Structure 1
Amino acid sequence: MLSRIAESLFWIGRYIERADGTARILDVHLERLNQLPQSQQREASQEMLTIMGSWPSDEEYGLQDLLQYMAYDRKSGASIAGALVQARENARRARETVSSNLWETLNTTYYGLNQQRKDVVGAFRFCHWVLERTAMMRGFSDSTMSKDDSWQFLQLGRALETADMTARMLAAVDTQSNGLSWVTMLRSAGAYESFLRTQGVAFGEKSAAEFLLLDRWFPRSIVSSFSLAEDCLIKLDPSVQRVGFDNDARRIVGQARSFLEFHHSENILDELPEHMERVQRAVAQASDAVTRRYFSHIADNAWVGEKA
């Protein structure tokens, strides 16, 4: 496979998950932010921008600025619209590899961006529309593409980005806990029903955090995402050495997964910020390692604010 095709597939997966994860984070915060006084709106908006990888300057950012940055800015790969634009552009470059169903869904979504209202009410609808469209993209990629190297690169990008976005969701709870419950966050991640079947009706913040961080069977948990990324890397390069690994990406992902799975903590909530920073750094380093190994150049597509 040409390295440019592999790179495009990898970033299609990342950008689709980036749009999905950003929509989930924005949706869960919008109603609360809209009800705050203007001064608190500005403070909360700046906190959200920091979580999403933009460190605000001395300027004051309000709710409309937050919506523009996270939802509608087509020139920024960190926004929902920008991620969808980039996913479609990468699919155009790899048109001969992606299925017709996936391409048509990406293309239709791209043109549908022009029909979205850019106020608070429109943002609610936009987020839910994006979740539906990205679910269709994932469904078509899984059901209409052969499970060869092309699909593995797509899955690898999705897995790394899912780990990063779930880490940002958890960081948002830690930073903006006032008025934001763990039930709301579980619903945002699509994890509420699965969590209840696992834990029952009686649970606390610790068990919810452990579920999104450590559950091996829930697909949006960080450990599950790292396990999927590791499996993709093994299938892309099944060679085995007697000592160590020459695949840096596999080593980085494996170390991050192993640390989370085998680390014992009496109070995971206190350690959550440290864990989230470690996860985001591992995703950034693994992405760079994949680029060095499989692609012909260092990509300029890194997430704004990725931990180096």
Structure 2
Amino acid sequence: MLSRIAESLFWIGRYVERADGTARILDVNLERLNQLPAAEQREVSRQLLGIMGSRPEAGKQEEFGLTELLNRLAYDRSSPTSISGSLGAARENARRARETVSSALWECLNTTWYGLSQHRKDVVGTYRFCHWVLERTAMVKGLADTTMSHDESWQFMLLGRSLERADMTARMLQTPDVFSAGLSWVNMLRCAGAYESFLRTRRAAFGDEHAAEFLLLDRLFPRSIVYALSDAEQALERLDPSYQRVGFINDARRIVGQARTFLEFHQTSNLVAELPEHMERVQRACAQASDAITRKYFAQAVDLSWVGEVS
């Protein structure tokens, strides 16, 4: 497979998952944000933007509020951290890999792109927009799974999706103010679409500690960090199945494996207190693994540099 095609497929997986994760986080916070006084609204908006790895521009801290947050996270097509920007970048990568992705997948991404402008940009419109995005991204991922052969092309897409999913869950849990900012354990689970699965699994075991443990360590829930890192590790193994008696040649597989095993075998009496440290480690591992994958598999041409890692 050409390296430019592999890179495009990898970033289709990442950008679609990024749009999905951003829509989940924005959706679950919209109602709470809309009910806050203006001063608190600005503060929580800045916190949410920080979770997504962005900051208001210098000199605009005081003016940054709900309207600016909606534009930055939902509608700004020039930003790869926004929903619209991510879906636009996924479509562009699909266009570059048009000979590899299925026609159904391309048509779904293309239709989604043209549907981005058909939504109101107020709070109610954004709420509906987020639900529409969740439906469209679910369709994209379903079509990728069912209309593409599960060969190298699909493995690169799965690899991108898994790394981004681990990163997005870590962003949601990374801030030490996640609970004091009003993001309760219920909202945290709803962000990841994990609320019903958590209740069925834990039943009477409610609380921040149990919710954080579920999203971090559950081996059977697809959006937990350990599950996502395991998927990424398996994809890397299938892409480079060479056997060695000692160590790993593949740096990305070593980085992802170390991050997963640290989480799985680490024991603590206060997981919530250690969340910022763990989430920073996960995000750093995802970024380092992405860099290692780029070095091993993808061309380093200048004209492809625009799809690099988003800080």
Q: Which residue of 1 aligns with 2:25?
A: 25
How far 1:172 sits from its partner (Å)? Answer: 5.7
Q: Percent identity?
A: 70
**Larger mean Cα displacement after TM superposition, 176-185 or 78-87:** 176-185
Question: Could you tell me which of 222, 233, 237 is aligned with 1:219?
Answer: 222
SS of residue paired to 2:93: helix
**1:245 corresponds to 2:234:** no
Quote the RMSD (CA, aligned, Å).
1.3
Amino acid at match of 1:102: L
Confirm whether residue 254 of structure 1 aligns to residue 257 of structure 2. Answer: yes
CA distance in 2, matches of 1:247, 1:277: 23
Listed one character per residue, the Cα deviations across residues 224-278 of structure 1 (whole Å, up to 9, x for unaligned) are 0000000000000000222211111000000000100011111000000111111
2:298 is equivalent to residue 295 of structure 1: yes
CA deviation profile, 1:66-89 (whole Å, cap 9, x unmatched): 111100000000000000000000
- The separation in 2 between residues aligned to 1:194 and 1:52, in whole angstroms, is 25
Alignment of 1:1-308 (within 5 A): 1-56=1-56, 57-60=58-61, 61-171=64-174, 174-175=177-178, 177-297=180-300, 299-305=305-311
Q: Is the 8 A contact 1:173 1:180 kept in 2?
A: no
Deviation at 1:116, TM superposition (A): 1.2
Uncovered stretches (5+) of structure 1, i.e. residues with no partner: none
Q: Using the alignment, how far apart are the partners of 2:250 and 2:226 within structure 1?
A: 20
Residue type matched to 2:136 in 1? R
- Mapped contact 2:175–2:276 kept (Cα < 8 A): no
Supply the distance in 2 between the matched residues of 1:251 and 1:167 (Cα, whole angstroms).
19
Counterpart amino acid of residue 190 in structure 1: G
Q: Which amino acid aligns with 1:147?
A: H
* Alpha carbons 1:173, 1:185 under 8 Å: kept: no
Distance 2:252 2:285 in 1: 9
For 1:261 and 1:77, locate their aligned partners in 2 and report how far apart those are by CA, in whole Å.
Answer: 31
Closer/same/farther in 2, CA of residues 80 and 172 from structure 1, 3 Å limit: farther
TM, length-normalised to structure 1: 0.96
Comparing 293-302 and 136-145, the one that deviates more = 293-302
Partner AA of 2:158 in structure 1: Q
Give the letter for the 2:81 counterpart. Answer: A
| Equivalent residue pairs, number | 305
Q: Give distance in 2, aligned partners of 1:304 and 1:238.
A: 29
Tell me, in whole angstroms, the C-alpha distance in 2 between the residues paired with 1:126 and 1:114: 10
Distance in 2 between the 1:196 and 1:217 partners? 14
Secondary structure at 1:106's aligned position in 2?
helix
Q: CA deviation at 1:303?
A: 4.3
Counterpart of 1:218, as a letter, is F
Task: For residue 142 of structure 1, report the CA deviation from its aligned partner.
Answer: 0.5
Structure 2 counterpart SS, 1:114: coil
**Structure 1 stretch 237-246 or stretch 120-129: which is displaced more?**
237-246
Cα distance, 1:173 vs. partner?
8.1
The one-letter code sitting in structure 1 at the alignment partner of 2:283 is: Q
